[in-house]
A and B are shown apart, each in its own frame.
Chain A
Amino acid sequence: MIGPSALPRRMFGLLAICGLLAACSGQPAARQASSTVVTSTTPTLNSAAAATELGPTPAGEGIQFTVSLRLPGAAELDAYLHDLITPGSSSYQQFLAPEEFGARFGLSQARIAPIVAWLESGGLAARLMPQRTSIAVSGSAGQVSNLLGVELVDWENAAGRRYHVPVGEVAVPANLNGDVAAVLGLNTEPLIRPSAVPTPLKAGAGDGLVPSTVSKAYEIDPLHDAGLNGEGMTIAIVSFDTFTPSDVELFDRNFGYTGGTPVELIRLAGASTEIGEGAGEVALDIQVIRGIAPKAQIIDYEGPNTSDGFVPIISRIVADGRAKIVSISWGLCENWSAPSSMRAEQREFAAAFAAGISIFSSSGDDAAYDCRRVDISDNPFERDLSPGVDWPTSSPSVISVGGTFLTLREDGTYVEEAGWEEPLGGGGGGGGLSAIQERPDWQSGVGVDNSASNGMRQVPDVAGPADPTSGFVVTYTDYEMGLVSGQVGGTSAAAPFWAASMLLTQQLAEREGVAGLGPLGPVLYQISAEQPTGAVFHDIVRGGNLLYSAGPGWDYSTGLGSPRVARLARAIVDALNQ
């Protein structure tokens, strides 16, 4: 018999209304008379509509947040970033260390000191990032409430994850308000999503991608054959969950890798210390990279999953200055990011761009409709079927990576790719036009100017294997099921695939005396324009993302296409050698 009908999602409305109006859970704290209000920067979505209010956050509980700082030199920064990638300019390829960035574009120390003093007056610990984009702050919930004039209230979502939400508006002393651009991270509702799509593991010829097939299909083998395996190179992963180190050891054993460096963990304050729902994502990122660059030093930067969670992680990566290639497989619909949060995050991405860091960001797995949620537990009020793109992939300072469906021969050689789309399931590689971010000058080439263009950022820039049907085989420790193995796709796989491929390119560049690759987005467009079609990119002309079709040249489904890695690496190094 057909089972009983279940229609629970239509019953979520009342709870969601209360969630949207977070103030119904408590009284706003009184503001200090001498303060002005900084808009509470993170909207309370309570995306899990069945969220439960638990009551005030215990006063002694540790709290972390970020004070994002105004960049008084923003106009000069725009000009500098343009010159940085313009051959012939005096600033061409003149990347800035974080301290240089801060001194040139940030607030003066004299203006920052009162902000730090104000934070410390409330008993909070404050750490200024050297690029002067933000201050990392920590203290107790009681101290935070007293200083900022907000009450923190605990909630628990349907998955049992506890988080806190500020009630009221953050108050900053009037004399500091012009320099404090935003106060971020007080709402710790986990809104940033991984872009991984698993399918059950299948046996037989159609098994998922393993390192050898990836290397053969995308012509990485010539780099490996030349001894380029990531040794001495460093790559960063942005994570909002964590991983199990023994999974990496198992991966090495399964694929015969020896002598690899253990994955380094840099865990920011407030990050989860135990594996959670996103553990598969972290494992995917690590294993895709390790399969391409097995000797590379992978640093997993883990931070708290908040809607503005990219600020502390990216600022830390820039401050550390160790990795010039970064992979991000997390994101959220750009409409869900508060404007002040997005501006703060964009300042961090710009600082990374200025430092010569290439950030590869997954374009999302909801095809051209990134704001459409499909989980039954999601807030129905947040469902949006209008075209939309993901954040931070729409940042003009990152490289957006879309998704493909890869077809191989049994000997592992490449046949073709199609833009990844699932007409019935609604999935597919993210792509389209940003509603918020403008298109950078460097995004140009055949197909970029099209009938849909409107001056806004167009994504993705490139693409890689993402359809779970042709996904990567990943074995990892799941937070509920223990060790599992599956075939995992999503643009989550495509982003680390590109990042690792470009890490080998960086190694080739260093071997041949090129100091640094710099932000690769402009270089990829330049090379695409210079090279014959198909020479270094697979120009993908089939498939799409449910709204836009893939086609010759750049398109909204697959960007410039997927890489023929060794050929592209050669072209990049040659271009930078000129």
Chain B
Amino acid sequence: MGFPSAPPPPAPTRKSSTTIIALFVGGMLALAILAVVFVLFNQPKAPEADCEPGKVCAPQPSLPPVPSNQPSPLPSPLPSVQPSVQPSPGPTTVPATLPPGASATPVVPAPTPVSNSPIVLSGELWQSSALNYSFEYDPNRWSLQDSTDDTAVFYSVRYDAQLVIRAVPAQTSPAELIAQQLAVVDTFMVGRVKDTDDYDALLGPSIGYVDGEGDVWSGVVLSNDGTPVAPGGVTVMAATDGRLTVSVLVLVGSPDAQVGSGTQQHRVRGQADEFLKSFDWDTRS
């Protein structure tokens, strides 16, 4: 399991055997969380790509192996690069001279035909059949680790980072959902404070073009035995369309580690935007 769902609200009844069982299960869950966090942050770290804004990334020979049936996440130098450029299907050569009679024929655009062709996806589609929302992600960048009706957990392929998308009925406000997610974060992070560095500021939080709220925090990630192991950065946003409330949480280990000309947190957050752009709040419409 990856990043777990937030705990349910406390039951209003007195403690019973069910409650005790629930507490036991909860305890086990917390242990599982710690174990996952430990595993996550102890994974062999992919080397940081020297890939700066304004440049196309260079191939990194020491990257984790990519399955042979998937394209490399990075552009390749020639000669392999040439075939990767897709020539336009059909005739591509523009006439060198005007076709006969062209100059006498005014350009009158034809009506645009209606197409039934499928919409191009920007990546893999993830969909909740229970809550009817979906989004797309690039499997070369993100690995799906866990998936339930309301939650999907991804690990970054190249960075020490995790992304969690969670949806709940809109009775839970964005602020409440953010608080729930942060409560879970607090089970493995200490000293969590708001990150006030302008460099990390979250400007214009939104999910799937629905304006929301959110903020950035920093703290220290604990190992499963409670030992501080590394700084961590947490960015959480939430928004609601009146039917669902959705949160997007991005957790980054060593957020200020330099990657190219930026930080690891910036790089990861930039890659996480694809989830937001493709987010469909209601797949039935």
Contacts and interface: CB of A to CB of B under 8 A. Distances in A.
A231 B96 contact: yes
Contacts of A145: none
A210 B77 contact: no
Interface residues on A, range: 35 or more
A409 B118 contact: yes
Given A254-B87, A546-B203, A566-B109, A280 B96 contact: no
A98 interface: no
A424 B235 contact: yes
Interface residues on B, range: 35 or more
B45 interface: yes
Interface stretch (B17-25, B147-155, B179-187, B257-265): B257-265
A542 interface: yes
Interface string B67-87: 000010111111001101111
A59 to B, nearest CB: 34
A204 interface: yes
A366 B106 CA distance: 41
B88 A485 contact: no
B204 A547 contact: yes
A256 B92 contact: yes
A295 B94 CA distance: 8
A376 B86 contact: no
Given A207-B86, A422-B273, A486-B75, A547 B203 contact: yes
Nearest to B93: A256
B79 to A, nearest CB: 9
A277 B57 contact: no
Contacts of B119: 407-410, 415
A143 B261 CA distance: 38
Interface stretch (A6-14, A127-135, A148-156): A6-14
Interface stretch (A78-86, A221-229, A265-273): A221-229
Nearest to B232: A2
A203 B84 CA distance: 7
Contact of B199 (A9, A207, A367, A549): A9
Contacts of B107: 222-223, 226, 228, 508, 566, 569-570
B93 A1 contact: no
A380 B199 contact: yes
A60 interface: no
B115 A411 contact: yes
Contact of B204 (A202, A211, A294, A544): A544
Nearest to B248: A424
A204 B136 CA distance: 14
A480 interface: yes
A73 interface: no
A409 B98 CA distance: 30
Interface stretch (B7-15, B28-36, B120-128, B167-175): B120-128
A540 B86 CA distance: 28
Nearest to B272: A424
A511 B101 CA distance: 12
Nearest to A205: B120
A483 interface: yes
Q: Could you say which of A212, A250, A385, A488 has the most chain B C-beta atoms within 10 Å of its C-beta?
A: A212
Interface in B173-231: 198-199, 201-207, 209, 211, 221, 229-231
A485 B83 CA distance: 10
A481 B119 CA distance: 34
Q: Could you say which of B102, B254, B273 has the most chain A C-beta atoms within 10 Å of its C-beta?
A: B273
Contact of B75 (A219, A281, A484): A484
Interface stretch (A190-198, A448-456, A524-532): A190-198
Contacts of A377: 261
B117 interface: yes
Nearest to A546: B204
Contacts of B203: 367-369, 372, 385, 423, 426, 546-547
Nearest to A536: B109
A547 to B, nearest CB: 6
Given A383-B199, A422-B273, A483-B78, A1 B205 contact: no
Contact of A485 (B75, B113, B160): B75
B261 A212 contact: no
A196 B56 CA distance: 10
A511 B103 contact: yes
A200 B202 contact: no
Interface string B127-159: 000000000001010000000000000000000
Contacts of B120: 205-206, 407-410
A331 to B, nearest CB: 14
Given A6-B256, A294-B94, 6 more contacts: A223-B107, A295-B96, A423-B273, A424-B276, A481-B58, A564-B109
Interface of A: 1-9, 193-194, 196-198, 200-207, 210-213, 219, 222-224, 226-229, 231, 250, 254-259, 277-278, 280-281, 294-295, 367-369, 372, 374-377, 380, 383, 385, 405, 407-411, 413-415, 418, 421-427, 467, 469-470, 473, 475, 478, 480-486, 488, 508, 511-512, 542-547, 549, 564, 566-567, 569-570
